[in-house]
Amino acid sequence: MEMKFKLQMGMKQQLVMTPRLQQALKLLQLPTLELEMALKDELQSNPLLEIEEEEEIDPQTREGSQEESAGAADNWDDIFNDGIEMQYEQQEEISDDEFVEKVPIYRQDSGDNLLQQLRMITKDAQLLEIGEYLIGSLDDRGFLTIEMGELQNVFSVDEARAQEALKLVQSLDPAGIGARDLPECLLIQLRARKMEDSLTAVLIRDHFKALVQRKYQAIARKLKISVEDVQEATKVIGELDPKPGLELSTEDPRYVTPDLLVEEVEGDYVVALNDRYLPRLRISQAYKEGSADRDKRTKEFLQGKLSQAQWLIKTVEQRRSTMVKVMNAIVEEQKEFFDRGPQALNPLTLQQVATKIGMHESTVSRVTSNKWVQTPRGTFPLKYFFSSSLSTAGGEEVSAKAAKDRIREIVSKEDDKRPYSDQKIADMLKDEGLVIARRTVAKYREQLGILPARMRKEY
């Protein structure tokens, strides 16, 4: 058989993440306070960047430049002039710290520690990107709040790649982080203890429902062991942490500085960036004045720094525009929430917002990651406004978050001696027009950390 070699030309599409693109995506994901520190670092390393002092900025010029950098997509100037900025002018005597509400929040993982660990155990750019997305999707308990199918769609990866990223996150400390439910959380902790083959692991993996119901005798019969063995194995469960994410928080209340502001102005909700403390960058005046008197090598060096400076200024302005677009889309989709409160939260996905503003879903994910917004209803993480949907008896859709809030409220008002079963809660919700299955009530109850009725009962 004769072997022949030949050259063949072909074309294929391939996404290449250039260093500048990677930096742009990183800047987009940074909260405002972290962006402020990043810009100050750039000021130190790039001699062609300098801060444009506040008194040097003509408000009309600044607004015009922001509109130009955003492609003049929205006519926000008129709204700002008549709304938010007018309110700033009326409150000149109030300090900056008084204007922006500093809100103490419940203990929640910032994710910084987890991101540092992730970057130490892998250098794979795609796994890092997916892992950061997963970390941004953890709730305060450390549990994952998204489905793996959503992860595959966002990053266009197969199930094996998504699972590889998940396993990396689940290997982080504290053990149990990244679990999708309580049994998986406990099993991850047992694996960290080298107890994945123990009787305790078998009970959690294969008999968790019976274990919760304390059916020790039934479990013992199935496994052909003594009840004492079952009880002894359950003692280990008491040493595990059902909410490992709380370990990453501090004991003292933390305060958040909102990245965005939503104010009600004459019946409309107006979005503004809370970036008054961000340094406004410009090209150094000294560079412009003395550029003709430099040698070739110096000019080449400065030309490279000039290109970096111009790109950074443009990228920061695009970030501002994108954040306002995303928040404006959220406000439009969740107007009932701003009018009536959390019970009126509508179902909303990242893809819906991405389609609405003509951007990729992953871009919207980065914009909403680790960002907070101050609204007339309180201060919330942007991820709060996204939730799956449930149907009502009238054919309408409501947010799963609204259903969870209602379940929590029902349980909080029940008689401790006669707690409601999951079926009873489902019936009560049905009477209110919300069609929800008993197993869905049980799922949401577990996600809320609420015990079954028999374990809530006080004797």
Q: Is 373:382 a contact under the CB 8 Å cutoff?
A: yes
Q: Which residue among 360, 382, 404 closes a domain?
A: 382
Last residue of a domain, one of 249, 265, 294: 249
**pLDDT value at position 345?**
80
Q: Where are the beta strands (DSSP E) in 357-409?
A: 372-375, 378-381, 389-391, 397-399
- Chain CA centroid to CA 378, Å: 18
* Cα(392)–Cα(15) distance, integer angstroms: 42
190, 244: one domain: yes
What phi and psi values does residue 436 have, to the nearest 5 degrees?
Answer: -145, 135
Q: Do both 335 and 355 map to the same domain?
A: yes
Based on the domain organization, do 131 and 231 belong to the same domain? yes
Q: Give strand ranges (E) for 327-396.
A: 372-375, 378-381, 389-391
Residue pair 28/369 in contact (Cβ under 8 Å)? The answer is: no
Q: Tell whether 92 is covered by a domain.
A: no
Q: Phi and psi dihedrals of 397, rounded to 5?
A: -120, 140
Q: Is 42 domain-assigned? A: yes
Are 379 and 372 contacting, i.e. CB atoms less than 8 angstroms apart?
yes
Residue 73 in domain: no
**What string of H, E and C letters represents the secondary structure of 245-313?**
HHHHCCCCCEEECCCEEEEEECCEEEEEECCCCCCCEEECHHHHHHHHHCCHHHHHHHHHHHHHHHHHH
- Same domain for 351 and 401? no
Instruction: Report if residue 9 sits inside a domain.
Output: no
Query: Which tokens is 443 given?
Result: 């799922």
342 and 263 housed in the same domain: yes
CA 333 – CA 348 distance, rounded (Å): 8
Q: Same domain, yes or no, for 449 and 352? A: no
Q: What is the separation of C-alpha 434 from the centre of its chain, rounded to a whole number of angstroms?
A: 27
Please tell me the predicted confidence (pLDDT) of residue 86.
31
The stretch 282-295 carries a mean pLDDT of 69
CATH number, residue 393 = 1.10.10.60
| pLDDT at 432 (0 to 100) | 79
Q: Give the H or E element holding residue 428.
A: helix 422-431
Tens digit of each residue's pLDDT (9 = 90 or more) over 231-264:
888 888 888 888 888 777 644 555 678 999 999 9
Chain segment 135-190, per-residue pLDDT in tens: 888 888 889 988 888 888 888 999 999 999 999 999 998 899 999 999 999 999 99
Q: How far apart are CA 244 and CA 436, in angstroms?
A: 29
Residue 396 placed within a domain: yes
Q: Is residue 170 part of a domain?
A: yes
The Cα 92–Cα 115 span in angstroms is 40
In this structure, which amino acid lies at residue 54?
E
DSSP assignment of 6-37, as one string?
-------------HHHHHHHHHHHS-HHHHHH
Rounded CA-CA distance 426/436 in Å is: 6
State the residue range of the domain holding 342.
20-50+257-382
183 plus 129 within the same structural domain = yes
Q: 218 and 280: one domain?
A: no
Q: Which amino acid is at 121?
A: I
Amino acid sitting at position 389: S
Is there a contact between 216 and 199 (Cβ–Cβ < 8 Å)?
no
The last residue of a domain, from among 217, 249, 281: 249
Same domain? 434 vs 318:
no
Instruction: Indicate the range of 211-220, 282-291, 322-331 predicted with least confidence.
Output: 282-291
Number of compact structural domains in the chain: 3
Single-letter amino acid code for the residue at 104 = P
pLDDT digits (tens, 9 = 90+) for 16-43: 556 777 777 788 888 888 888 888 888 8
73-93 tens-digit pLDDT: 433 233 233 333 333 333 333
Q: Do 355 and 418 reside in the same domain of the chain?
A: no
* 115 & 236 share domain: yes
**pLDDT classification of 106: cutoffs 50, 70, 90:** very low
pLDDT-derived band at 1, boundaries 50, 70, 90: low
* pLDDT confidence bin for 65, thresholds 50/70/90: very low
Dig out the tokens for 375 from the structure.
């609204």
pLDDT at 95: 40
Lowest mean pLDDT among 243-257, 290-304, 331-345, 430-444: 243-257
Check if the beta carbon of residue 164 is closer than 8 Å to that of residue 202.
no
Question: Is residue 340 in some structural domain?
Answer: yes
SS3 assignment, position 423: helix
Whether residue 239 sits in one domain with residue 143:
yes
Q: Tokens 């194995």 label which residue?
A: 233
**What integer pLDDT is reported at residue 187 of this predicted model?**
93
Residue 452 falls inside a structural domain: yes
Structure tokens at 429: 């919700």
